[in-house]
Amino acid sequence: MKYISTRGQTAPMDFSDVLLMGLAPDGGLMLPESYPQIDSATLAAWRKLSYPELAFVIMRLFATDIAEADLKDIIERTYTEAVFGSSDITPVRKLDDNLYILGLSNGPTLAFKDVAMQFLGNAFEYVLKKKGERITIIGATSGDTGSAAEYALRGKDNIEVFMLSPHGKMSAFQRAQMYSLTDANIHNIAIKGMFDDCQDIVKALQQDADFKAKYNLGTVNSINWGRILAQIVYYFKAYFAVTDAENSSTDTKVSFSVPSGNFGNICAGHIAREMGLPVDRLIVATNENDVLNDFFNQGAYHPRPAEKTYVTSSPSMDISKASNFERFVYLLLEKNTDRVHELFDGVKSGNGFDLADVMEAVNSRYGFAAGKSTHADRLATIKDLHENFNDLIDPHTADGIKVARELQREGEIIICAETALPVKFAETIIEAVGAIDIERPAHTQGLEDLAQHVTVLDNDAELVAQEIRNGVTANA
């Protein structure tokens, strides 16, 4: 399996190299030359597998340059009951007729990012040791990616982590989770701006060829193919769990509703569908930052500047430039790399684009739909589930459920992808249901009382570059 760039100017590469590199040298995103095709007999065989077994058979199709025994070892060390709280890893629970919640938030940082990031941490360490190299991870987070990455990479050999977050824009729990870490290889930087500003700095440094080479820059943001690969697995696992619960046939189709900001999680679902998983629709659920909702309903993609991006009660989705969206547009435009390059260079310059002429393929060929949710919708959904189903959910998951209910067709089975545990967003939960004790795992008790360590910087890529120079030198 070889990997190519969405912009067509990068030579085919192996998985191990793609894992470490982040953005392609031509500024595009790496993805496989083609997606493996899974037939019904294989699906039937995979249905019986445990989570680690399923992860192995899927990942070995994509990570062909890693010895099978080594890949199996990485996966078996990653997906354990000790780390994720149950052998199911990503358990599914029924909410209502034909509506399910895929539990993705049982890892160390209580968010779906752990499922991929725990794998990435172990895979990074393995590949770096094989290559005899060090890597400097630079990432941007709107709330959950940062903590998941830091908990997966803390103390890992040959890895430095510099994580950018929007100053004052995350929940108190999210800030405490990241900034309280004291590991020497973890560096937190709060940028005076929005998430998109942080993301732009990461991309700018990634595209500085000399700086990238000198510090061996990589990324753990969802532009990293390794994260997408790890997320593909739980779409298959959820499909098997729900169709077993429904006593459905092997070819029964289900839909997924996914809270979406950066388009990474739902991109993994899109790839699972392309591989042959019987997915009917992929429902993109946005908050007030509804750029993706506009595209999937109107064909117009017009990212907002940071100053026009809303600060909402589902902060992990306060994003206007969806980094993974380019992977989908590449297929939508029938792999026309020149056109992809032109469109996303325009986005970088502050422009949007209109693809209304190909929207029929978006819906019929690729099965996408979209809706949006507001603060009032989130509160109402959280309150309804708590009172009528005895189920407490976080605000992002509420966005996904609100949109799923709104768009659900008669008889359509929808699985809603959970984003995080509600304790990470206590203020919004209490606003929705009143003052209650929100359950939290023992290892997070007293988290907000710990000393926090963060460097606050103006929105300037050079300031971040200097922090990296100083941090890497100090730990060299």
Angle between helices 145-153 and 172-179 (to 10 degrees): 20
Sort strands 186-191 and 353-354 into parallel, antiparallel or unpaired. unpaired
DSSP 8-state class, residue 116: H
d(CA 55, CA 322): 26
CB 430 within 8 A of CB 167: no
d(CA 136, CA 212): 9
User: How distant, in Å, are the alpha carbons of 53, 64, 86, 218 from that of 74?
Assistant: 12, 14, 18, 20
How many CB atoms lie under 10 A from the CB of residue 33? 10
Angle between helices 225-245 and 51-62 (to 10 degrees): 140
d(CA 219, CA 145): 11
- Backbone phi, psi, residue 5, to 5°: -95, 150
How many CB atoms lie under 10 A from the CB of residue 418? 26
DSSP 8-state class, residue 154: T
d(CA 408, CA 414): 7
Quickly list DSSP for 52-70: HHHHHHHHHHH-TTS-HHH
Candidates 113, 156, 321, 402; catalytic one: 113
At position 336, the amino acid (one-letter code) is: N
Max CA distance (Å), the chain: 60
Backbone torsion region of residue 158, taken as left when φ is above 0, otherwise alpha when ψ lies between -120 and 50, otherwise beta: left
Assess whether 113 carries a catalytic annotation: yes
d(CA 367, CA 47): 23
Q: Which residues are the active-site residues?
A: 113
